């Protein structure tokens, strides 16, 4: 039986700013881009959340919901330095740390001898150390696997700890809404509800083969999650799979020429970024991302050997066909990287 801790810092960027300037604690505070440049909220404190402000919300909407909102552009260097110190605290207890972002990580403490091997006590000590040494609060979940540890962490946010003991897994999962399972978004949850599936308990009534037959890859995942199963390991090193760039436009664009003008400015930046990590002939694929004015989005990706900037024009055309005339507010580019030690065999064949 594994012992997994999931740690999630509470409103991390905003919390760091409030630590640096305590006068900000009592006001609605958000970190994000300016409204006049069509920015979005990166994170906000709990005062702002009471007004309805949320992460990923357009800044203009956030200001309508909360006129007294204090907006800061953010200081990424400070956040990264603080994150490094947080991860150093994690590694006092285990080297099996999988950072998901600057403010979130999984820890596998199965074989840790600290606290007599108690994952619960380790989580308490980690939270206490973050509070005393960095002046920040963190929430934690403890469970037998990553899936459950993340759900446990969400149960006690902010500044809390929730434990799912092995003997409690079935009771916890049975009445869990399917929409709470990571990877199931709003539309997928609605699709499940149309078939009478609201809770894990409902999905358990179907044989696993039927789940897989009805829902494909989603059914394979559901067949495990509805019983609380997750065999994924905590990965101490995460291999980067792609590199991308994107920009939110000051005004919506509609036609292909306007979109291509934007992409021609992004391509050199993308090439500079991936050129520091990967030769052009080892690129595994290219993609383009379009986000529409209604915040729906589409990504067109093509796997192939080697890099070709003109290919983005073909991908753009395909993306605009999918757009069906919708105004576009964001454009992005991405390239796929080979796995560590992997050689792009297709590019070798093409060049032979």
Strand order in the sheet with 285-292: 242-253, 328-336, 285-292, 297-303
Cα angle, residue 228 at apex, residues 155 and 209 outer, rounded to 5°: 140
Over 80: is that where the pLDDT of 332 sits?
yes
Has residue 179 been placed in a domain? yes
Has residue 142 been placed in a domain? no
CATH number at residue 291: 3.30.1490.100
Mean pLDDT of 113-139: 97
Q: Distance (Å, rounded) from C-alpha 99 to C-alpha 89? A: 13
217 and 246 inside one domain: no
**Which of 50, 76, 102 is the last residue in one of the domains?**
76
Known catalytic residues?
Answer: 104
193 and 255 inside one domain: no
Q: Distance (Å, rounded) from C-alpha 138 to C-alpha 103? A: 9
CATH number at residue 209: 1.10.150.20
The string of pLDDT tens digits covering residues 273-289 is 888 778 888 899 999 99
**Which of 24, 50, 76 is the last residue in one of the domains?**
76
Has residue 265 been placed in a domain? yes
Domain of 38, in residue numbers: 13-76
Least confident of 106-120, 191-205, 237-251: 237-251
**Which of 25, 59, 76 is the last residue in one of the domains?**
76
CATH number at residue 61: 3.40.1170.60
More confidently predicted of 135 and 189: 135
Mean pLDDT of 194-202: 94
R_g of the chain computed on alpha carbons: 23
More confidently predicted of 253 and 53: 53
Number of independent structural domains in the chain: 3
Q: Give 32's pLDDT tier (boundaries 50, 70, 90).
A: confident
Is 103 marked as a binding-site residue?
A: yes
Output the pLDDT for position 351: 34
Has residue 201 been placed in a domain? yes
The string of pLDDT tens digits covering residues 230-241 is 999 999 876 778
Over 70: is that where the pLDDT of 347 sits?
no
Has residue 139 been placed in a domain? no
Has residue 136 been placed in a domain? no
Has residue 317 been placed in a domain? yes
Find residue 313's DSSP bridge partners. Answer: none
Please state whether beta strands 297-303 and 138-143 pair in parallel, antiparallel, or not at all (unpaired).
unpaired
Least confident of 58-62, 251-255, 338-342: 338-342
Asked if residues 206 and 192 have their Cβ atoms less than 8 Å apart, the reply is no
The string of pLDDT tens digits covering residues 56-108 is 888 889 999 999 999 998 898 999 999 999 999 999 999 999 999 899 999 99
Over 70: is that where the pLDDT of 350 sits?
no
């Amino acid at each position: 039986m594994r012992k997994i801790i999931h740690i999630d810092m509470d409103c991390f960027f905003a919390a760091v700013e409030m630590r640096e300037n305590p006068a900000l604690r009592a006001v609605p505070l958000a970190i994000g881009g300016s409204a006049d440049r069509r920015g979005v909220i990166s994170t906000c404190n709990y005062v702002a959340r009471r007004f309805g402000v949320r992460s990923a919300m357009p800044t203009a909407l956030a200001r309508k919901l909360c006129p007294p909102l204090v907006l800061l552009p953010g200081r990424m260097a400070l956040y990264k330095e603080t994150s490094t110190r947080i991860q150093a605290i994690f590694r006092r207890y285990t080297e099996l740390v999988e950072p998901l972002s600057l403010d979130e990580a999984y820890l596998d403490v199965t074989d840790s001898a600290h606290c007599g091997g108690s994952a619960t006590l380790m989580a308490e000590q980690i939270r206490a150390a973050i509070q005393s040494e960095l002046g920040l609060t963190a929430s934690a979940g403890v469970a037998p696997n990553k899936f459950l540890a993340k759900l446990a962490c969400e149960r006690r946010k902010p500044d809390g700890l929730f434990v799912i003991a092995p003997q409690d897994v079935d009771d916890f999962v049975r009445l869990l809404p399917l929409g709470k399972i990571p990877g199931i978004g709003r539309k997928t949850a609605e699709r499940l509800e149309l078939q009478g599936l609201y809770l894990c308990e409902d999905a358990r009534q179907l044989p696993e083969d039927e789940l897989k037959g009805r829902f494909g890859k989603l059914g394979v995942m559901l067949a495990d999650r509805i019983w609380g199963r997750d065999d994924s390991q905590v990965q101490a090193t995460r291999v980067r799979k792609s590199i991308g760039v994107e920009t939110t436009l000051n005004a919506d664009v509609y036609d292909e020429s306007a979109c291509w003008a934007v992409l021609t400015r992004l391509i050199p930046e993308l090439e500079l970024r991936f050129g520091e990590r990967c030769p052009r002939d080892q690129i595994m694929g290219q993609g383009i991302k379009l986000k529409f004015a209604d915040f729906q989005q589409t990504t067109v990706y093509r796997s192939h050997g080697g890099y070709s900037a003109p290919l983005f024009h073909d991908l753009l055309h395909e993306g605009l066909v999918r757009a069906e005339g919708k105004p576009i507010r964001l454009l992005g580019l991405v390239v796929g990287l080979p796995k560590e030690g992997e050689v792009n065999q297709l590019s070798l064949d093409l060049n032979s």
